């Protein structure tokens, strides 16, 4: 076995045999589901005590329209609004002041509070008053059955989207489902770059600070050591994702066997067929490999340059900003996968691994995909070579954090 193969084997087996890896791999899906479920559960819990909103209605027309809810209770202002401001009551959440006919003057309504008003308070008030004002406006036209005419004239369309191929085969699709699939794969690559890239950096720093690397490089070339570490940790990540995919498939298959669920899962299976999951998984692996090697090599070079965790912040900031930009570009590109932002961000190598996965479910012209992949792997080769030069010098330097000028000199060696 070659020396780089020995390093790969060591990095891979050392990590997958740890109990923490096994426990985290098995528990992570459960923790994610529990976290999402917990968020929905906590968000559904309302305050035990309803908030009091005092209504100072100078017209006397709108106070009777405001009905109490589980969250808000409306009471009439005993004194004027000026008295309320002088004698504030902590039990009162806000004061609603209406000074004029809202049809004639829509700006004659104001909500005052000593706290920041939440959106639900505004929604509760406007939803109750809007219906009354709309009906009042319609009645002012004095047209018989105008409300029924308008109600009957409303048409609600639900468009069925069908994807066809050259053979004439039709498959029902869903733009929301395609966007969700793209965003999921985009998020996976984003998480992988940060989680396992940081793992590479941490491993390099530990070997450097413990002086183990001095012994290792006596028998292994620095480039072979760096590549072995990158590939070994990358395989750990792929193994973890493969296990999660098997678990997800097993749970989905078991759920499909339950009575009443078969038709639902059959429909979901049709949506997966429409977005061509085989092609998505294939491109995911390609862009995952390219993106991981590109950024993990940068993480490895940072780990070789510094001597402590605190020193990494200076060099991590540009990479963090770049990856976050790619993530947000991918999120916004989901609404317009063929727009200029999506196109250029999926072609530029530093952002393409994250952004391109948003576009794949919607279909990407072959020349754009080929151009993106070629540019990505050419950039990977260039960055790996540059990172290897920094790694070769940095792992044997101690005592101080190198300046950017010194790093440029390393690249010229």
d(CA 338, CA 340): 7
CA neighbor of 401 nearest in space, from 265, 289, 280, 307: 307
Burial (0-12, 13-18, 19+ Cβ within 10 Å), 164: exposed
Instruction: Quote the radius of gyration of the chain (alpha carbons, Å).
Output: 30
CA distance 29 to 300: 28
Nearest to 204 by CA among 107, 300, 93, 114: 300
224: Cβ contacts below 8 Å, ≥ 6 apart: 2, 3, 4, 7
| Tokens 């279909």 sit on residue | 363
For residue 378, what pLDDT is reported? Answer: 95
* pLDDT (tens digit per residue) in 242-269: 888 888 777 666 655 555 555 555 566 6
Are 337 and 362 in contact by the 8 Å Cβ rule? The answer is yes
Q: What pLDDT does 140 receive?
A: 82
What gap in Å lies between CA 318 and CA 167, rounded to an integer? Answer: 48
Q: pLDDT below 50 — which residues of the chain? A: none
User: In the numeric block, which tokens belong to residue 112?
Assistant: 């005052």
CA nearest neighbour of 192 among 180, 204, 184, 182 = 184
How buried is 163 (Cβ within 10 angstroms: 0-12 exposed, 13-18 middle, 19+ buried)? Answer: middle
- DSSP character for 50? P
Residues 6+ apart with CB under 8 A from 233: 11, 12, 15, 196, 199, 200, 203, 296
303: Cα separation from own chain's centroid: 27
Encode pLDDT of 100-111 as tens digits.
Answer: 999 889 889 999
Q: How far apart are CA 33 and CA 40, in angstroms?
A: 11
Distance CA(287)–CA(349), nearest Å, equals 10
| Bridge partners (DSSP) listed for residue 170 | 164
The token pair at 18 is 């740890």
The pLDDT score that the predictor gives to residue 287 is 93
Let me know: does 205 contact 306? Beta carbons within 8 Å: yes
Q: Residue 49 contacts by C-beta under 8 Å, 6 or more apart in sequence? A: none
- Shortest CA distance to 7 belongs to which of 224, 294, 238, 234? 224
Summarised one tens digit per residue, pLDDT across range 369-413 is: 999 999 999 999 999 988 888 888 888 777 777 777 888 888 777
Per-residue CA distances from 49 to 38, 52, 319, 364, 368 (Å): 22, 9, 47, 53, 57
- The span from the CA of 265 to the CA of 256, in Å, is 6
Q: Where are the beta strands (DSSP E) in 65-164?
A: 72-76, 92-98, 109-112, 161-164
Distance of alpha carbon 397 from alpha carbon 323, whole angstroms: 28
Residue 321 phi/psi, 5-degree rounding, is -60, -40
Give the pLDDT confidence score for residue 155 in this predicted structure.
82
Main-chain dihedrals φ then ψ at residue 226, nearest 5 degrees: -65, -45
Residue 49 tokens read as: 């005590």
Give residue 373's pLDDT: 95
Domains observed in the chain: 51-153 (3.40.190.10), 167-412 (no CATH)
Looking at residue 165, what is its pLDDT? Answer: 65
Q: What is the DSSP string of 141-174?
A: T--TTHHHHHHHH-----PPEEEE-TT--EEEE-
User: Burial code of 342-362, b = ≥16 C-beta within 10 A, e = fewer?
Assistant: bbebbbbbbbbbbbbbbbbbb
């Amino acid at each position: 076995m070659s020396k780089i193969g020995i390093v790969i084997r060591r990095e891979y087996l050392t990590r997958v045999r740890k109990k923490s890896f096994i426990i985290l791999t098995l528990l992570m899906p459960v923790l994610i589901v529990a976290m999402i479920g917990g968020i929905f559960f906590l968000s559904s819990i309302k305050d035990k005590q309803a908030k009091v909103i005092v209504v100072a209605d100078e017209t006397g027309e709108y106070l009777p329209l405001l009905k109490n809810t589980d969250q808000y209770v409306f009471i009439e202002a005993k004194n004027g609004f000026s008295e309320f401001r002088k004698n504030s009551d902590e039990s009162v959440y806000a004061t609603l002041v209406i000074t004029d006919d809202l049809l004639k003057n829509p700006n004659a309504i104001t909500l005052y509070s000593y706290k920041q008003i939440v959106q639900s308070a505004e929604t509760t008030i406007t939803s109750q008053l809007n219906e009354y004002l709309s009906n009042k406006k319609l009645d002012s036209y004095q047209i018989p059955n105008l409300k029924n005419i308008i109600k009957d004239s409303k048409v609600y369309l639900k468009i069925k989207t069908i994807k066809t191929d050259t053979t004439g085969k039709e498959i029902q699709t869903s733009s929301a489902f395609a966007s969700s699939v793209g965003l999921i794969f985009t998020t996976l690559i984003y998480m992988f770059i940060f989680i396992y890239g940081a793992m590479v950096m941490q491993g390099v720093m530990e070997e450097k600070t413990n002086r183990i690397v001095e012994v290792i490089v006596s028998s292994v070339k620095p480039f072979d050591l760096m590549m072995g570490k990158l590939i070994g940790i990358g395989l750990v990540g792929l193994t973890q994702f493969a296990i999660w995919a098997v678990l997800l498939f097993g749970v989905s298959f078991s759920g499909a066997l339950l009575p009443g669920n078969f038709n639902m899962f059959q429909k979901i299976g049709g949506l997966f067929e429409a977005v061509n999951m085989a092609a998505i998984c294939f491109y995911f692996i390609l862009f995952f490999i390219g993106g991981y090697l590109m950024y993990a090599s940068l993480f490895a070079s940072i780990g070789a340059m510094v001597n402590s965790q605190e020193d990494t912040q200076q060099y991590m900031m540009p990479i963090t900003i770049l990856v976050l930009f790619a993530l947000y570009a991918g999120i916004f590109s989901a609404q317009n996968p063929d727009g200029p932002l999506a196109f250029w961000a999926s072609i530029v190598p530093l952002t393409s691994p994250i952004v391109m996965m948003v576009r794949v479910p919607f279909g990407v012209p072959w020349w754009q995909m080929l151009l993106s992949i070629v540019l990505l792997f050419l950039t990977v080769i260039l960055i790996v070579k540059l990172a290897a030069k920094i790694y070769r010098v940095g792992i044997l330097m101690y005592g101080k954090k190198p300046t950017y000028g010194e790093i440029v000199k390393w690249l010229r060696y």
